[in-house]
Every structure is written in structure tokens, then in C-alpha cells.
């Protein structure tokens, strides 16, 4: 695929963002996707109901499993990422849970980058232990270290395309080679890049996840997550992934990997993980996020243009020790950004204050225009001091590795006028 095309009848990205998965409502001819605010759906007859429950036909049963509003969103995201199918969930964390629930058995391991969102580090390193799953962490830039952690219990490698908050651009293709050699899938969190800036499937990703709360929804008004099945992994090549390759007791011995082929992973995550664990997205949130995706290309262009302008201004400020933004030529990740994110290095980056921890706290407490909150990807510019908030549960060493040291401030640059954003930061820095 080229940067501007997806595998959807050669339609351009912006067209799919508006029309993907959607059509006028067949019952009313409404042009906007309706919010199907219902728990359940009436069956045509007993035979149709049986076919739905036996996975012999696709259709609506219960909103915990699927809903027509949700389906539009899923088809749209799958098309934008070049995948075969997608599954929307209640949050990004829920999407990650369902991915691992589908891949893992008790006693299994997966490899994860050290440079991840703090909530993911906690989920992987702490909460997943209760399932008997072990995360092995490695520096995402050290390909040999990642390869060295692979063993017979390893079931996946997990990375972020653009690391939050450190801004590291991941060499997805190099890590994909490690995964392929080990016979395991590569899972890429593409939240910060979005498919507009980076399509991980092109570089060897097998499963993609997003917190749709961020740039896909884009307006800070709804929480959701999604997993995308790229359709690239052969689940029947070994007996490592029993959920897909072994007879399924829930469906009369059906082998999901055989029955559903390139979309088997997304279906298994839905009809087993989502069905039984229950982290479904609400129809209303699916509607809001699908509406937000329509303007994704426009917003991402504005986000990245503003972020580069703000990063350049901060790089010259006397109270700023460093700026980590891959869009800057001074960044060690600049060449990787040009390869993986040629349209821009995203809207989220960090910078370090010469005054350290106290200066970071003072800046976020006194800044104007930028909102101090724990989110990214809003139309509004956001600011946070990770060491005192999102990453505070980690040790000093773990925070430093994750790119959230004491002096670090994270920005999510919005779509306001870039001059106003710079002026607000300049005024805030003047108080330090």
C-alpha cells in the first residue's frame, strides 16, 4: 500500500475515513449512522437464532457481543489499517486484555517494550500476573535484547509505533523479523501515530491496537479501544495458539483458525474474550468515535504541523534542557520517523526542564490555555508531568527507561493556532 491508499478498492484514506463501513440506514434512509441503543435483537426464527449462536452466520444477537453502530466503526478502522477485521472495546486497556486473552494460556509469556504508556506497563507488569501471564520487558531499540528474551513460552511481542511519552519511533520491521523467526505475532499499539501517519501492517505487524479515546475519537468525549486483525499470521502453523488451532468446546469442536482464516483472530477475540469477559463499547461511544474518525486526516495534519512548530520553539528556550520529538532534525529518531511516519511525527512529545521535578510541577500548575489532564489526542492542547501522575507508580529507574524522568513534561499539541500555544508555554516558562 502507498501512504495515501488502503486496501479498500483503492479508495483514498480520507474517503474511507468518512465512508468506511457506513451506508444510509436501510430502515429509515438516515445518512448518519444511527445509535442503536438496544441491548438485544429479535431473531427471524429459531433456525436463524441457532445459526448465529453456532457461528454459522454473522448477525446481531446482543450488544455485549456486537451492535450495528459498533460494526460501522470496526469496519472503518479495519479498512484504514489495511486489516481484515476489527473489534471495538470499552477502552484501549480492554483491547490489550482481549488480545492477550486470545493468545495466552496460564504460564505463558510475552515480550514488551520498556518504552510504553505507564498504564500499559502497570497492566502488563502487575495485573496480568493474576492471569498467570508474564511480561518480559526490553529496550525497544535493542533488537538483540528482544530476540534474546524469546523462549518456548513466548506468545507475542508488543510495542508502540510511537512510544508514549518518550516519543521513540519503533523500528517495526526489524522487530517483526524477530517475531517471524520465533513464529509469534507482533502486536503494535498505533495510538499516537494513527493509521494516517503510520500503518504498521505494511512493516510486519500482525495485530494492531488503539486507544480510540485518543486521536481516533479526537475530541476527548468518549472512551474506547480497538484491536485490528491484520490477517497476516498463520494460526494453524503450530499448536502454540490453542484458542485458534484446537477444537473449541464453546462451539461444538469448531477450529476457529480453520473456519475463519485471515479474520480468525478478531472473531476469536469477540466470540470468546468479549463474550465472556464483557468489556464492550457502548453504542453511543461507538457513534462519537466513528464521527471523530471522519475528520482524522484533517486533524492529524494540523496536530503534526503545530507540534513541529512548538517543538522548534521549545528547543530554543533557555529554560528547556532538551526536546524529544522525532520531527526535529536533532532527534536520534528522525530517520526512523521519515521511514515509518513520513507525514509527520505525531502530536505528542516530551521536553525536559532545567529545574527538574519542581519546575515540572510548577509549570503544569500555572500554565494557561493548555489543559492539565491525563489524556492525549484531544483537539485541545494538553500538558502533564508524568513523574507525578501517569508514571508515578513506577520506580525511578523504570520511569527513566520509559521516558518519564523527574524533569519530563509531556505535551499533546492540539489544533489551536500554533502561535497561541507557543505564547502560553512561553508565559508559563517565564514563571519558573
The domain boundary, picked from 292, 323, 357, lies at: 292
Within a domain: residue 7?
no
- pLDDT band at residue 166 under the 50/70/90 scheme: confident
185 and 315 both lie in a single domain: no
d(CA 362, CA 18): 42
Within a domain: residue 1?
no
Q: Which domain holds residue 379?
A: 297-430
The domain boundary, picked from 253, 275, 292, lies at: 292
Min mean pLDDT across 10-24, 191-205, 285-299, 398-412 is at: 398-412
349 and 278 both lie in a single domain: no
- pLDDT band at residue 5 under the 50/70/90 scheme: very low
202 and 282 both lie in a single domain: yes
Predicted confidence at residue 194, as pLDDT, reads 98
Asked if 190 and 198 count as a contact pair (C-beta separation under 8 A), the reply is yes
Predicted confidence at residue 132, as pLDDT, reads 98
d(CA 366, CA 386): 16
- For the question of whether the overall pTM of this predicted structure is more than 0.75, the answer is yes
The domain boundary, picked from 292, 327, 350, lies at: 292
- pLDDT band at residue 203 under the 50/70/90 scheme: very high
Which three cell numbers, joined as nine digits, stand for 318?
A: 533557555
pLDDT digits (tens, 9 = 90+) for 380-411: 999 999 888 876 777 778 777 777 789 999 99
CATH (domain of 414): 3.90.1150.10
- pLDDT band at residue 167 under the 50/70/90 scheme: confident
Q: What percent of the chain has pLDDT above 90?
A: 90
CA atoms within 13 A on the CB side of 28: 7
Three-state SS string over the chain comes to CCCCECCCCCCEHHHHHHHCCCCCCCCCCCCCCCCCCCCECCCCCHHHHHHHHCCCCCCCCECCCCCHHHHHHHHHHHHHHCCCEEEEECCHHHHHHHHHHHHCCCCCEEEEECCCCHHHHHHHHCHHHHHCCEEEEECCCCHHHHHHCCCCCEEEEEEECECCCCCCECCHHHHHHHHHHHCCCEEEECCCCHHHHCCHHHHCCCEEEEECCCCCCCCCCCCCEEEEECCCCCCCCCCCCHHHHCCEHHHCCECHHHHHHHHHHHHHHHHHHHHHHCCCCCHHHHHHHHHHHCCHHHHHHHHHHHHHHHHHHHHCCCCEEEEECCCCCCCCCHHHHHHHCCCCCCCEEEEEECCHHHHHHHHHHHCCCCEECCCCCCCCCEEECHHHCCCCCCCHHHHHHHCCCCCEEEEECCCCCHHHHHHHHHHHHHCC
- pLDDT band at residue 165 under the 50/70/90 scheme: confident
pLDDT digits (tens, 9 = 90+) for 325-370: 999 999 999 999 999 999 999 999 999 999 999 999 999 999 999 9
pLDDT digits (tens, 9 = 90+) for 205-263: 999 999 999 999 999 999 999 999 999 999 999 999 999 999 999 999 999 999 999 99
- pLDDT band at residue 9 under the 50/70/90 scheme: low
pLDDT digits (tens, 9 = 90+) for 98-144: 999 999 999 999 999 999 998 999 999 999 999 999 999 999 999 99
pLDDT digits (tens, 9 = 90+) for 29-74: 999 999 999 999 999 999 999 999 999 999 999 999 999 999 999 9
- pLDDT band at residue 6 under the 50/70/90 scheme: very low
In the predicted structure, residue 4 carries a pLDDT above the cut 60: no
Q: What percent of the chain has pLDDT above 70?
A: 97
- pLDDT band at residue 7 under the 50/70/90 scheme: very low
168 and 269 both lie in a single domain: yes
Predicted confidence at residue 3, as pLDDT, reads 42
Asked if 201 and 229 count as a contact pair (C-beta separation under 8 A), the reply is no
Within a domain: residue 3?
no
Predicted confidence at residue 313, as pLDDT, reads 98
Comparing 187 with 1, the larger pLDDT belongs to 187
Within a domain: residue 5?
no
Predicted confidence at residue 294, as pLDDT, reads 98
Predicted confidence at residue 1, as pLDDT, reads 32
CATH (domain of 169): 3.40.640.10
d(CA 371, CA 365): 10
264 and 361 both lie in a single domain: no
- Kindly report the average pLDDT of the chain as a whole number: 95
Count the domains in the chain. 2
Amino acid at each position: 500500500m502507498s501512504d495515501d491508499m488502503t486496501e479498500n478498492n483503492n479508495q483514498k484514506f480520507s474517503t474511507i475515513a468518512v465512508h468506511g463501513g457506513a451506508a444510509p440506514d436501510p430502515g429509515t434512509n438516515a445518512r448518519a449512522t444511527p445509535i442503536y441503543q438496544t441491548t438485544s435483537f429479535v431473531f427471524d426464527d429459531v433456525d436463524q437464532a441457532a445459526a448465529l449462536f453456532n457461528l454459522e452466520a454473522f448477525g446481531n444477537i446482543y450488544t455485549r457481543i456486537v451492535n450495528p453502530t459498533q460494526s460501522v466503526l470496526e469496519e472503518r478502522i479495519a479498512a484504514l489499517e489495511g486489516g481484515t477485521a476489527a473489534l471495538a472495546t470499552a477502552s484501549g486497556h480492554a483491547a490489550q486484555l482481549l488480545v492477550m486473552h486470545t493468545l495466552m494460556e496460564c504460564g505463558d509469556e510475552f515480550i514488551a517494550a520498556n518504552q510504553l504508556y505507564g498504564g500499559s506497563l502497570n497492566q502488563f507488569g502487575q495485573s496480568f500476573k493474576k492471569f498467570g501471564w508474564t511480561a518480559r520487558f526490553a529496550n525497544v531499540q535493542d533488537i538483540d535484547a528482544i530476540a534474546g528474551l524469546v523462549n518456548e513460552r513466548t506468545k507475542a511481542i508488543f510495542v508502540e509505533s510511537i512510544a508514549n511519552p518518550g516519543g521513540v519511533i519503533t523500528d517495526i520491521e526489524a522487530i517483526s523479523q524477530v517475531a517471524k523467526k520465533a513464529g509469534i505475532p507482533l502486536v503494535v499499539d498505533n495510538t499516537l501515530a494513527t493509521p494516517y501517519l503510520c500503518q504498521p501492517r505494511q512493516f510486519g505487524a500482525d495485530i494492531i491496537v488503539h486507544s480510540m479515546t485518543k486521536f481516533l475519537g479526537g475530541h476527548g468525549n468518549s472512551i474506547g479501544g480497538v484491536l485490528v486483525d491484520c490477517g497476516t499470521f498463520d494460526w494453524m502453523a503450530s499448536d502454540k495458539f490453542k484458542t485458534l488451532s484446537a477444537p473449541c468446546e464453546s462451539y461444538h469442536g469448531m477450529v476457529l483458525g480453520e473456519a475463519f482464516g485471515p479474520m480468525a483472530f478478531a472473531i476469536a477475540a469477540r466470540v470468546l474474550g468479549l463474550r465472556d469477559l464483557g468489556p464492550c463499547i457502548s453504542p453511543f461511544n461507538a457513534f462519537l468515535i466513528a464521527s471523530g474518525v471522519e475528520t482524522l486526516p484533517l486533524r492529524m495534519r494540523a496536530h503534526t504541523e503545530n507540534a513541529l512548530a512548538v517543538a522548534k520553539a521549545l528547543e530554543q528556550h533557555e529554560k528547556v534542557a532538551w526536546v524529544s520529538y522525532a520531527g526535529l532534525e536533532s532527534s536520534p529518531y528522525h530517520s526512523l520517523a521519515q521511514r515509518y511516519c513520513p507525514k509527520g511525527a505525531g502530536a505528542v512529545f516530551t521536553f525536559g526542564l532545567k529545574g527538574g521535578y519542581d519546575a515540572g510541577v510548577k509549570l503544569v500548575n500555572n500554565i494557561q490555555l493548555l489543559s492539565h489532564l491525563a489524556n492525549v489526542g484531544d483537539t485541545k492542547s494538553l500538558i502533564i508531568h508524568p513523574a507525578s501522575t501517569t508514571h508515578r507508580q513506577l520506580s525511578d529507574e523504570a520511569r527513566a527507561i520509559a521516558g518519564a524522568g523527574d524533569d519530563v513534561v509531556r505535551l499533546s499539541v492540539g489544533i489551536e493556532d500554533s502561535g497561541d500555544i507557543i505564547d502560553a508555554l512561553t508565559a508559563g516558562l517565564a514563571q519558573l
